[in-house]
Amino acid sequence: MFELIGNIAAVLTTAAFFPQVIRTWKTKSTDDMSWSWLLMLTIGVFLWLIYGISNSLLPVTAANGVTFLCLSVLVYIKTSNFLARR
């Protein structure tokens, strides 16, 4: 039972970033996102990815791999906005 809860949690916390990436891609607006949040989360998720690969934990690897890609898109858009304003 609790494994199921863990799997649902992993899917939700990963899939959650899809609508956020779609919204941000459409609006190109990232002002409400804190740079610290975005960079800390992206680095943290990348480390979870390394942790998952090195321990052969497929769920951790898959979930954080997908989340890392989503966060990279957000970092790209927020960086583009920053450079465009300089």
- Residues within the interface to a second copy (CB under 8 A): 2, 5-6, 8-17, 19-20, 22-24, 27, 29-38, 40-41, 43-45, 47-48, 50-51, 54-55
Q: How far is the CB of 26 from a second copy (least distance, A)?
A: 10
The rounded distance, in Å, linking the Cα atoms of 67 and 75 is 12
- 29 vs 79, beta carbon nearer a second copy: 29
Q: How far is the CB of 2 from a second copy (least distance, A)?
A: 5
Among 64, 44, 41, smallest CA distance to 52 is for 64
The rounded distance, in Å, linking the Cα atoms of 60 and 49 is 7
- 19 vs 85, beta carbon nearer a second copy: 19
- 55 vs 86, beta carbon nearer a second copy: 55
Among 37, 36, 58, 35, smallest CA distance to 48 is for 58
The rounded distance, in Å, linking the Cα atoms of 13 and 80 is 26
